[in-house]
Amino acid sequence: DTGVSQNPRHKITKRGQNVTFRCDPISEHNRLYWYRQTLGQGPEFLTYFQNEAQLEKSRLLSDRFSAERPKGSFSTLEIQRTEQGDSAMYLCASSLGTGFDTDTQYFGPGTRLTVL
């Protein structure tokens, strides 16, 4: 297994455009998380999935953001009508998630978004 992968690695877009990012978790990992990280800050939780169910969303996730995980495999994060404040690194992580406790999350390399 090659770990968590994210595509694209970099995205430059103009304000107002829509963007979509993809995350492929480690195979057999049931939980998938999305985070946003800005310069000089730690990752901020956005949302997570247990299999295909989206179980928690941060208030950071405005109505312009939507995430899906069809069939409990890969996930997509879409940002509509991008704003300059959306410029950040978007990180995906996955974990086994077979129990009722927190378990170890493994991160992907991230997608760096720049909104001009």
Partner 1 sequence: QKEVEQDPGPLSVPEGAIVSLNCTYSNSAFQYFMWYRQYSRKGPELLMYTYSSGNKEDGRFTAQVDKSSKYISLFIRDSQPSDSATYLCAMSGNTGGFKTIFGAGTRLFVKA
Decide whether 18 or 76 has the Cβ nearer to partner 1: 76
User: 67 - beta bridge partners?
Assistant: 77
Range 90-101 burial, b when 16+ CB lie within 10 A, else e: bbbbbbebeeee
User: What is the C-alpha separation between 35 and 32, in angstroms, rounded?
Assistant: 10
Q: Mark the segment that binds partner 1 (CB under 8 A) among 14-22, 66-74, 76-84, 96-104.
A: 96-104
63 scored as a contact of partner 1 (CB under 8 A): no
Can you tell me the distance from the alpha carbon of 28 to that of 51, in angstroms, rounded to the nearest whole number?
Answer: 10
When the beta carbons of 74 and 80 are compared against partner 1, the nearer one is: 74
Per CB under 8 A, 39 contacts partner 1 = no
Is residue 102 a contact residue for partner 1 (CB under 8 A)? yes
Nearest to 86 by CA among 24, 34, 37, 23: 37
Considering the complex, what minimum distance in angstroms separates the CB of residue 16 from partner 1?
26
Among 11, 21, 25, 33, binds partner 1 (CB under 8 A): 33
